Amino acid sequence: MRKIFLLLVCLTVFGKNYAQDSVLLRGPYQPNSKYKQKLDRKLEMSVSLDVDSATLKKMEANGISNPIVQNHSFKSDAIITTGNIMKNDSFPLIAEMSLIGNNLPQNLKMILYAQVHPGESPHLDSLDLLPKMSETDSAKASLFPLLKNIFNNVQYPTTIFHVGDSTKNTTDFPMNMPGVQLTMHSVNTYRLLKIENGIAYFSINYNITMNMVGNTNTIMNGKGGGNGTGYFSYDIANGYYKQTGNNIDMNVSVKFYNPDTNEGLKMEIWENEHSQDSIEKID
């Protein structure tokens, strides 16, 4: 009996150590759950225009600096509710978000409706902006295809990680914006740093390239790219991302031009995006 007892103890200890040495990411959300999420994003942007001295003086006379510097901030509190798994193996998700930003209307709320297949990012079906008014209706018309494209193209790593393991995946974002076709390609490297108390801690490195091409109404082109770092922590037992953060720098060269003379306006754009998100399972 003593040998059997020692064998069971060893199996328990070594089994526990093995489990805590590896993790399989099961996606950002699980069915029949409720989450509380906080988002905090800051964007710094600098636009340098390649203009002659006469144009520069006119800009300065009108109070416009070169480079043009802008700072944007955005915060959100969200309640995310998921339903039961349906016949097609997906489950519904509703995210009710209160939005606060230096360029946003007061008391703005956004409600997202999506479907989630286990292990995947939500696929956005529709959204609402409240209160309903002409400004939010026009914003909804332009925002929905952009968010839908982002949601539907995000890919999460699905391999089993052991501590020290790393893997790469790629994310492509083809975006149609007014007058511009933008294509962004990101190579993301994920590394499992450690597992403590049932939480897996990862680092992320981003390598991004971007191309912009104007349509028939906007004659322009642009190229650029950037790099960044990030992190996230993952609750293994409950299967969700507890905290995420990113710090990404981008540089883009853009030219608006006359196709006959190839002359036009050139600009250099630099931006830094810093984001921190936290999520808590509350039901």
Predicted confidence (pLDDT) per residue in 167-185, tens digit? 998 888 887 766 778 888 9
Per-residue pLDDT, 8: 33
Omega of the bond leading into 131 within 30 degrees of 0 (cis)? yes
The model carries a pTM of 0.84
DSSP assignment letter at 90: -
The band of 191, judged by pLDDT with boundaries at 50, 70 and 90, is very high
Token readout for 111 is 């409600």
Report, as an integer, the average pLDDT of 126-147. 78
Mean pLDDT of the chain: 85
Cβ atoms 251, 226 nearer than 8 A: yes
The sign of the torsion formed by the CA atoms of 65, 69, 71, 72 equals positive
- Hey, which of 35-39, 53-57, 177-181 has the most confident mean pLDDT? 35-39
For residue 64, name the pLDDT band (cuts at 50, 70, 90). Answer: confident
Taking alpha carbons only, the member of 104, 119, 189, 182 closest to residue 150 is 182
Integer Cα distance of 64 and 66 in angstroms: 7
Report H helices in 89-234: 134-153
- Of 74-83, 143-152, 227-236, least confident by mean pLDDT is 143-152
pLDDT average, residue stretch 22-29: 89
Mind listing the pLDDT tens digit for each residue in 83-114? 999 988 999 999 999 989 887 778 889 999 99
pLDDT in the model for residue 233 = 97
Show the tokens assigned to 177: 């914006």
Distance CA 270, CA 225 (A): 10
- pLDDT at residue 267 above 50? yes
Q: Is the pLDDT of residue 14 over 60?
A: no
Q: What is the chain's Cα-based Rg? A: 23
pLDDT recorded at residue 175: 75
Contacts of 262 (CB under 8 A, 6+ apart): none
Percent over 90 (pLDDT), the chain: 52
Confidence of residue 134 (pLDDT cuts 50, 70, 90): low
Q: Is the pLDDT of residue 7 over 50?
A: no
Asked if pLDDT for residue 15 goes beyond 90, the answer is no
Instruction: Tell me which residue has tokens 């929905």.
Output: 144
Per-residue pLDDT tens for 215-266? 666 678 899 999 999 999 999 999 999 999 999 999 999 988 766 666 778 8
